[in-house]
Structure 1
Amino acid sequence: AVVTLSNFVVGNESNYFIGLYILLVVGGLMLTVAFLGCCGAFKESRCMLLSFFSCLLIVLVAELAAGAWAYHNSSKLDTYVRSAVKNAVQDEYSVLPTRTATLDSIQKYFQCCGAEGPNDWQSSVYNNADRSSLVDIAISKLNIAYKVPESCCHEGISVDDCNTVRNIGMLTSIAKPVVYTSGCMEKLVDGIKQNIKLVYIVGAGVIGVEILALIFALLLCCAIRRSSNYKN
């Protein structure tokens, strides 16, 4: 679910892959830092340990800066997530594969449909792309016919029942037992708020371990230096 929520932080597919590349680079950097630390400690090399210390210090400063930025902009997260969900439902579903898969996962996981409710799909790009299979239904003197994604159907509902209801119209009473009626926007925001404390705790733990690694690296460098001076 956390991975699914994170997909809404990016604006489009291009930014999504840029984010993946950044994670790969960061992972490679951390692997290099770990290698320097292990080899430096094993070979008692001050040069490698100092390189380890310098690289880890850069990573630590970057993490602290990113954490400070995230905390400073945390008030904007609620507004951004709401806007991202609405935009995904209205304009990006069935257009961007990553957004489509992400929104399907969100609707299944949170048992919801649309941003504020199933009616959001009525004016969406997904719904307007092909209306040939829809049946017009007169309700309150309005002809309303639209479909919702299959991920809006309740878990355990047969494919035939799901397809029948989701292609008829969401304002009919028959659809309520089959299709989720609550929107995903509020549930997604609540899900993020519930997990944000865990993210802070894990982040603080990682930073704490990195600070200890810096301290031990300096202590080991000093010990190696004293040992070299003693031998000389």
Structure 2
Amino acid sequence: MGRLSGSLQCVKYLLLTFNLIFLLAGSAIVAVGLWILFTGNIKELSEGDEEVYVFFFAGLYVLVGAGALMMLIGFFGCCGAARESQCLLGAFFACLLVIFAAEVTAGVFAFLGKQKTIIDAQGLYTKAYDDYIKNGGRNETLQDFHTFAKCCGNADPESAQRVRSLCLEEHKEHKNCLEEIAKMLNHSFQIVGILAVATAGVTIFGMIFSMVLCCAIRNSREML
């Protein structure tokens, strides 16, 4: 193993620090992704009409998968930097490239699919509302929307009284669900998109550090 110069030793320890941060960032992404998936009744809403949420859930699942991969790669990246292994650093770079592509894909899905998903979700709510007014009975889709968006009724102020039995006790006052659905989905899309783009940006630094260190290790060995 060749001896690295002081500046390249600095790069080595920067890469070690980066991988530790990368591992923690992957854990945070997985946690946030699972939180979005399993809170606010988003998952229950998707079961009624999966096509409505195809962009959102595709981006979210890619993001969670990339986060899990980041945790694993962060660990192996630390091993590669600590042992000054060209093989491990090369594999680390290739994995970072895959993660970069996955994160960009998740960001694109989140930003491009946002408006369509919101419009489709509002249409699904309107359809469920009209069906309930016409046929009555139990309407789980409408109830899930009221729980998810913390709302009751549509743009008509009197609509809340018509669906009062399907609203949460604390949300029985009129609150336009069409607006609240747009707000909630906008917020979720922003979280997914920002996480994806930010992580992709950080990944670029990891690729640069790994290649610089890998080349330095190769050169130092050639000089022996």
> Shared fold by TM > 0.5?
yes
Partners in 2 of 1:120 and 1:47 — Cα distance?
66
Contact 1:118 1:180 in 2 (8 A): yes
Partners in 1 of 2:90 and 2:215 — Cα distance?
11
RCO higher in 1 or 2 (8 Å CA, sep ≥ 6)?
2
Partners in 1 of 2:180 and 2:220 — Cα distance?
60
Residue in 2 aligned with 1:208? Answer: 201
Residue in 2 aligned with 1:173? Answer: none
Q: Do the aligned partners of residues 95 and 118 (structure 1) sit closer, same or farther apart at CA in structure 2, a change above 3 Å counting? A: closer
Q: Do the aligned partners of residues 47 and 75 (structure 1) sit closer, same or farther apart at CA in structure 2, a change above 3 Å counting? A: same
Partners in 2 of 1:113 and 1:216 — Cα distance?
52
Residue in 2 aligned with 1:154? Answer: 170
> Match for 2:84: what amino acid?
E
Q: Do the aligned partners of residues 86 and 30 (structure 1) sit closer, same or farther apart at CA in structure 2, a change above 3 Å counting? A: farther
Residue in 2 aligned with 1:83? Answer: 123
> Match for 2:148: what amino acid?
I
Contact 1:44 1:224 in 2 (8 A): yes
Q: Which of 175, 181, 185 is the aligned partner of 2:174?
A: 181
Residue in 1 aligned with 2:17? Answer: none
Structure number with greater Rg is 1
Partners in 1 of 2:62 and 2:112 — Cα distance?
22
Residue in 1 aligned with 2:77? Answer: 37
Contact 1:118 1:181 in 2 (8 A): yes
Q: Do the aligned partners of residues 8 and 77 (structure 1) sit closer, same or farther apart at CA in structure 2, a change above 3 Å counting? A: farther
CA RMSD for the aligned pairs? 3.9
Q: Do the aligned partners of residues 53 and 88 (structure 1) sit closer, same or farther apart at CA in structure 2, a change above 3 Å counting? A: farther
Unpaired runs of at least 5, structure 1: 122-146, 156-178
Partners in 1 of 2:89 and 2:162 — Cα distance?
57
Contact 2:93 2:207 in 1 (8 A): yes
Q: Do the aligned partners of residues 198 and 23 (structure 1) sit closer, same or farther apart at CA in structure 2, a change above 3 Å counting? A: closer
Displacement after TM superposition at 1:209 (Å): 0.7
Q: Do the aligned partners of residues 83 and 11 (structure 1) sit closer, same or farther apart at CA in structure 2, a change above 3 Å counting? A: farther
Residue in 2 aligned with 1:54? Answer: 94
Instruction: Name the SS for the 1:10 alignment partner.
Output: helix
TM-score (norm 1): 0.57
Unpaired runs of at least 5, structure 2: 1-34
Instruction: Name the SS for the 1:113 alignment partner.
Output: coil
Instruction: Name the SS for the 1:182 alignment partner.
Output: coil
Contact 1:88 1:103 in 2 (8 A): no
> Is 2:201 the counterpart of 1:222?
no
Contact 2:62 2:102 in 1 (8 A): no
Q: Which of 131, 141, 148 is the aligned partner of 1:106?
A: 148
Contact 1:60 1:207 in 2 (8 A): yes
Displacement after TM superposition at 1:114 (Å): 3.8
Contact 1:49 1:221 in 2 (8 A): yes
Per-residue CA distance 1:147-205 (angstroms, 9 max, x = gap): 61351x237xxxxxxxxxxxxxxxxxxxxxxx312232211213434565555444332
Q: Do the aligned partners of residues 88 and 33 (structure 1) sit closer, same or farther apart at CA in structure 2, a change above 3 Å counting? A: farther
> Match for 2:152: what amino acid?
C
